[in-house]
Amino acid sequence: MAVLDVTKKAGIYHILHQFNAAFSAIVGHYQSLREIGVLGARLTRLYQAFAQEVQSEFNEEFLMILHEIESEDWNRFGKVRQQWEKQLRDPDDVFIHAAERRAELKKAKRQEAKRKKAARKKAGLNREKSSRKLRQKS
């Protein structure tokens, strides 16, 4: 897809708004024709539905194209931001992040040890209860 400048893209969104406003006006005009007695309720609903169906189909096709354009722009401008953030990064940040990661791993290791200890304790209690039950039965 071609890269669009911000003015052209704003123009596209403005045109999309105009299309949808026109479809809305068509639906409203059918209602006006019903109110003055030119159309019955059934035909009014029918023609309004036809207009809204075309509007929905148009929006779906048009928005798929816009989605592709926006995704490409997001990717392109995201790379610009990432480059800027890379320039702002302090080379010592690597060491800070490494220290934070070591602290996270140490905490996770302690939590795992506590979990295992609790599981062993629980297993021991269960064995002790089983042994008592067996002794009581004998």
Its pTM stands at 0.56
Q: In angstroms, rounded to a whole number, what is the distance separating the alpha carbons of residues 106 and 112?
A: 10
Mention every residue, 6+ apart, whose C-beta is less than 8 A from residue 27. Answer: 48, 51, 52
pLDDT at 30: 97
pLDDT at 134: 66
pLDDT at 59: 95
Assess whether pLDDT exceeds 80 at residue 138: no
For the chain, give the percent of residues with pLDDT over 90: 55
pLDDT at 41: 96
Mention every residue, 6+ apart, whose C-beta is less than 8 A from residue 13. Answer: 66
Number of residues that this document lists for the chain? 138
Please compute the mean of the pLDDT values over residues 14-23 and round it to a whole number.
96
Q: Domain map of the chain by residue range?
A: 1-89, 91-138
Is the pLDDT higher at 22 or at 93?
Answer: 22
Tokens 């123009």 belong to 11
User: Could you report the per-residue pLDDT of 36-88, keeping only the tens digit for each?
Assistant: 999 999 999 999 999 999 999 999 999 999 999 899 999 998 988 888 888 87
